[in-house]
């Protein structure tokens, strides 16, 4: 027995050496599970060695025949966390439906205002979070004060133990970022190993994928799989720790997020190698790109067709004939109604698992899919909305015994439902989680009278936060984002009773992966802005972000808050939102069951343009007041619910025709001219002349395509400044391609 124990000790020493060769912590072995010999762990054979476990490059360590008190044992450790495994997790929606193994925590290092500490302490709503000249630098520590004109050195992130970078974001951070994985005691010392990154901060936070693909010698078109707006999701694991510093000037922009997974001590992690990993894990890399950019549902049976005519005030429901366990792998719905926007908001989707009297899913149909209000096409990993109104959900929804899908028609008109559901197998166990998605709306808010924390979700229980969507009706009269922006407030995510959020953001658009309150429409695998009716960020807006590789597990509680903080006082604002998450049975939350009064699309009120923000000092002239005359094509005042006065001047423009009006100017000077015009799929193409001179847009073009990809939008068209004298000036729109031309107003201001 002594001899056998000595052999086992020798094998343990060898195993530690192999772990070291992999860049793993030897303590991973001590935390491994011991299984009696004769039994096998999944993917392992008895004996000593490095063996594949389940996936091609996920390794497990085992050594055999360790004799303790006369009993023979072997060691079975969890699969090693590698870059390849993390790439696989990027598309693993089924993985969200089980408590993660190994369990991890997610936290975010960011440039949030350090005066914000806890909810009832002074400074909770402070907002100096990366603009420059903050009272307290937005970093963990000042490592070197700036002096003699030289930039300072600041600690961005520091982790002791295993983990992984899973997301970076920046709005344009300058300076130099240095990133060390498994850093030495003094990583900045000359003899210490070099950082894996030393270069422009923004390039690492928001554009690192292409750099590391090049370093690995790969020529791969990743599309938008990793780089999504101003964020980059390329995962970077580390075995023993992380250290990130920034060298830069505090008086310059330095907005940043760096989201990190923290694994339990002893978790076996193989540290990212910039020269080797992406080449070694190229199959997983390419699979992730394909899965993210061309998403499909997981393994499931044939589609089960769903059809119904639902009368006003009536409901429809469906349950599978076979009892569980099982899982919804794909749900497709399409509504048909005389007023589709009304139906998508007024038909309530409820999904209940295992007989729950509180449905785990409760949301208007359109808003559940992140499209509301109306049909706003986009493609993402968990959701797709097609232009014809077909909406698909690929979030996996497991149940142990039963499933019930119900639609309630709270509108005043009949609605036709068409769709399908695909079910798959599921092994229900103690790690299984229910899918939950509960929508809420606050209509008629007085926004901007003070900052508010709007609750997205407060839950007590165990689960995983997987993202959210916001649907805003913003009735601001300011025509520019500088002035009509609704989302200056930060996200605050508090996990397991913490008082200071472990995720503290720097602005609502930053959470949704874009910057500077841009009105652009975009969609990516994890985020999107499919709706922004304008002008700029006024009107109807919808944003979403899905957290998969950057999901946030919670063991006891979760609170997700977003500050409501518009640039200006805005009465009548509506703010709806939905949180996608998973939770163990018995989890409770703060959701109030929805009422018919919640299920409405709030109408934009009539509002006069306001000269503030980016439009400070502007003079506004409505086209209907300028009495335009057309050389051809009908001109009329037509109702338009997006327009400032709920009506606009509509010209059925013919090619070569002109629309003429007189523009008054009160004083001499150099002015920027801006046109607020309707854009829609069938819109015309025009150019604008002022006193016979063609106006050039700020992007250098002359043609104005008054067209949108799908829904109508009311957008600014900005022209380069021109010199004008006081008096009347002839403003002419010339039609280059026929189509309707909708004109709200023109505004001029000195730049």
> Hey, where are the domains in the chain?
2-80, 86-293, 312-598, 617-749
Sign of the torsion formed by the C-alpha atoms of 274, 280, 282 and 288: negative
- Cβ neighbors of 15 (< 8 A, separation 6 or more) are 29, 48, 61, 63, 75
What's the pLDDT score for residue 77? 54
| CATH class of the domain whose range is 312-598 | mainly beta
Average pLDDT, the chain: 90
Question: Residues for the chain: how many in total?
Answer: 751
Q: For residue 714, with 0-12 CB atoms within 10 Å meaning exposed, 13-18 middle and 19 or more buried, which class applies?
A: buried
> 């505090």: which residue's tokens?
250
pLDDT at 294 over 80: yes
Per the structure block, which two tokens stand in for 637?
């005042």
Q: How far apart are CA 246 and CA 33, in angstroms?
A: 41
- Cβ neighbors of 408 (< 8 A, separation 6 or more) are 314, 315, 347, 348, 350
Reported as half-sphere exposure (CB side, CA atoms, 13 A), residue 560 has a value of: 24
Q: Radius of gyration (Cα) for the chain, nearest Å? A: 29
| 3-state SS assignment for residue 710 | coil
Beta-bridge partners for 316: 407
Contact 341, 374 (CB under 8 A): yes
Sign of the torsion formed by the C-alpha atoms of 161, 164, 170 and 175: positive
> 């520019």: which residue's tokens?
480
pLDDT at 6 over 60: no
Q: How far apart are CA 21 and CA 274, in angstroms?
A: 17
* pTM score, whole prediction: 0.90
Q: How far apart are CA 222 and CA 645, in angstroms?
A: 45
Task: Name the nearest CA neighbour of 653 among 682, 623, 615.
Answer: 682
| 3-state SS assignment for residue 59 | strand
> pLDDT tens across 567-609, in order?
999 999 999 999 999 999 999 999 999 999 999 999 999 999 9
Task: Name the nearest CA neighbour of 676 among 722, 613, 728, 624.
Answer: 624
Q: How far apart are CA 547 and CA 493, in angstroms?
A: 13
- Cβ neighbors of 249 (< 8 A, separation 6 or more) are 146, 151, 152, 174, 175
- In percent, the amount of the chain with pLDDT more than 90 equals 86
Sign of the torsion formed by the C-alpha atoms of 22, 25, 28 and 29: positive
Contact 134, 175 (CB under 8 A): no
> pLDDT tens across 314-365, in order?
999 999 999 889 999 999 999 999 999 999 999 999 999 999 999 999 999 9
Provide mean pLDDT across the span 125-139.
94
Per the structure block, which two tokens stand in for 370?
């992140």
Q: Enumerate helices (H) and strands (E) in the chain, giving the number of each.
A: 11, 52
Per the structure block, which two tokens stand in for 400?
């142990």
The separation between CA 293 and the C-alpha centre of its own chain, rounded to angstroms, equals: 15
- Cβ neighbors of 450 (< 8 A, separation 6 or more) are none
> 């300011």: which residue's tokens?
478
Contact 477, 646 (CB under 8 A): no
Q: How far apart are CA 532 and CA 540, in angstroms?
A: 6
pLDDT at 74 over 50: no
The answer to whether 312-598 and 617-749 have equal CATH topology is yes
Contact 463, 554 (CB under 8 A): yes
- Among the residue ranges 121-125, 189-193, 272-276, 487-491, the one predicted with the least confidence is 189-193
What are the angstrom distances between the C-alpha of 556 and each of 102, 458, 588, 634? 17, 11, 11, 64
The strand ranges marked E within 518-657 are 522-523, 527-532, 539-546, 552-554, 557-564, 570-583, 588-589, 619-622, 629-630, 635-639, 647-653
Provide mean pLDDT across the span 218-232.
97
Q: How far apart are CA 575 and CA 78, in angstroms?
A: 44
Per the structure block, which two tokens stand in for 447?
């926004």
What are the angstrom distances between the C-alpha of 221 and each of 43, 163, 243, 285? 33, 27, 30, 11
What's the pLDDT score for residue 23? 42
Provide mean pLDDT across the span 616-626.
97
What's the pLDDT score for residue 41? 35
3-state secondary structure 620-667: EEEHHHHCCEECCCCEEEEECCCCCCCEEEEEEECCCCEEEEEEEECC
The separation between CA 513 and the C-alpha centre of its own chain, rounded to angstroms, equals: 6
What's the pLDDT score for residue 520? 95
Q: How far apart are CA 665 and CA 4, in angstroms?
A: 98
> 């149940």: which residue's tokens?
399
Q: For residue 660, with 0-12 CB atoms within 10 Å meaning exposed, 13-18 middle and 19 or more buried, which class applies?
A: middle
Task: Please check whether the domain covering 617-749 is classified as CATH 2.60.120.260.
Answer: yes
Sign of the torsion formed by the C-alpha atoms of 378, 381, 383 and 387: positive
> pLDDT tens across 152-168, in order?
999 999 999 999 999 99
What's the pLDDT score for residue 46? 29
Provide mean pLDDT across the span 680-708.
96
Neighbours of 682 (CB within 10 A): 10
Q: How far apart are CA 26 and CA 28, in angstroms?
A: 5
Provide mean pLDDT across the span 278-298.
97
- Among the residue ranges 187-201, 292-306, 431-445, the one predicted with the least confidence is 187-201
């Amino acid at each position: 027995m002594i001899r056998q124990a000595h052999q086992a000790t020798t094998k343990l020493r060898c195993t530690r050496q192999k772990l070291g060769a992999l860049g793993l912590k030897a303590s991973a072995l001590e935390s491994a599970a011991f299984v009696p010999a004769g039994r096998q762990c999944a993917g392992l054979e008895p004996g000593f060695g490095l063996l594949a476990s389940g996936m091609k490059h996920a390794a497990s360590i085992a050594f055999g025949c360790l004799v303790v008190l006369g009993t023979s044992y072997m060691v079975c450790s969890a699969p090693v966390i590698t870059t390849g495994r993390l790439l696989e997790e990027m598309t693993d929606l089924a993985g969200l439906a089980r408590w993660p193994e190994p369990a991890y925590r997610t936290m975010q290092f960011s440039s949030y205002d350090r005066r914000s500490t806890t909810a009832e302490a002074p400074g909770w709503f402070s907002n100096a979070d990366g603009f420059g000249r903050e009272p307290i630098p937005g970093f963990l520590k000042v490592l070197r004060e700036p002096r003699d004109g030289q930039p300072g050195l600041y600690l961005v992130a520091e982790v002791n133990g295993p983990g992984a970078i899973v997301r970076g974001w920046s709005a344009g951070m300058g300076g130099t970022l240095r990133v060390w994985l498994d850093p030495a005691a003094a990583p900045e010392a000359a003899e210490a190993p070099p950082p894996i990154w030393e270069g422009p901060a923004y390039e690492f936070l928001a554009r690192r994928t292409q750099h590391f693909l090049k370093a690995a010698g790969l020529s791969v078109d990743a599309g938008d799989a990793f780089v999504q707006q101003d964020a980059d999701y390329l995962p970077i694991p580390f075995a023993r720790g992380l250290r990130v510093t920034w060298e830069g000037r505090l008086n310059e922009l330095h907005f940043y997020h760096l989201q990190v997974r923290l694994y339990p001590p002893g978790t076996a992690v193989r540290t990212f190698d910039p020269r080797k990993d992406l080449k070694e894990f190229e199959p997983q890399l390419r699979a992730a790109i394909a899965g993210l950019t061309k998403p499909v549902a997981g393994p499931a049976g044939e589609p089960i067709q769903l059809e119904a005519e639902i009368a006003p005030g009536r409901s429809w429901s469906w349950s599978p004939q076979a009892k569980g366990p099982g899982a919804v792998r794909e749900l497709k719905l399409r509504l048909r109604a005389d007023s589709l926007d009304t139906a998508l908001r007024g038909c309530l989707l409820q999904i209940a698992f295992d007989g729950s009297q509180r449905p785990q899913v409760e949301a208007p149909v359109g808003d559940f899919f992140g499209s509301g209000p109306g049909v706003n096409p986009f493609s993402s990993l968990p959701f797709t909305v097609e232009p014809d109104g077909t909406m698909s959900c690929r979030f996996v929804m497991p149940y142990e015994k039963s499933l019930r899908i119900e639609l309630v028609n709270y509108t005043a008109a009949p609605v036709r439902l068409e769709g399908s559901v695909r079910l798959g197998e599921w092994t229900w166990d103690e790690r299984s989680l229910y899918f939950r998605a509960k929508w809420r709306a606050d209509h008629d808010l007085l926004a901007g009278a003070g900052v508010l924390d709007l609750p997205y979700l407060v839950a007590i229980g165990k689960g995983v936060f997987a993202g959210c969507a916001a649907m805003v009706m913003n009735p601001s009269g300011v025509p520019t984002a500088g002035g009509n922006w609704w989302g200056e407030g930060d996200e605050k995510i508090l996990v397991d009773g913490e008082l200071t959020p472990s995720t503290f953001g720097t602005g609502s658009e930053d959470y949704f992966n874009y910057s500077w309150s841009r009105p652009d429409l975009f969609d990516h695998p994890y985020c999107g802005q499919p709706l922004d009716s304008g002008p700029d960020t006024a009107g109807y807006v919808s944003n979403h972000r899905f957290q998969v590789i950057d999901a946030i597990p919670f063991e006891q509680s979760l609170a997700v808050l977003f500050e409501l903080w518009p640039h200006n006082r805005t009465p009548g604002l509506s703010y709806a939102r939905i949180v996608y998450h998973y939770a163990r049975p018995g989890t409770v939350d703060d959701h109030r069951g929805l009422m018919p009064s919640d299920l409405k699309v709030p109408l934009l009120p009539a509002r006069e343009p306001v000269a503030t923000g980016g439009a400070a000092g502007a003079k506004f002239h409505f086209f209907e007041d300028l009495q335009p005359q057309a050389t051809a094509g009908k001109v009329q005042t037509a109702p338009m619910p997006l327009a400032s006065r709920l009506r606009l001047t509509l010209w059925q423009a013919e090619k070569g025709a002109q629309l003429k009006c007189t523009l008054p100017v009160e004083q001499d000077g150099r002015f920027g001219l801006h046109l607020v015009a309707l854009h829609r799929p069938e819109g015309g193409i025009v150019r604008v002349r002022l006193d016979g001179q063609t106006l050039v847009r700020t992007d250098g073009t002359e043609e104005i395509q008054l067209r949108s990809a799908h829904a109508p939008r009311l957008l600014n068209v900005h022209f380069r400044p021109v010199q004008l004298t006081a008096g009347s000036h002839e403003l002419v729109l010339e039609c280059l391609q026929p189509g309707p031309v909708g004109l709200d107003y023109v505004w001029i201001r000195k730049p």
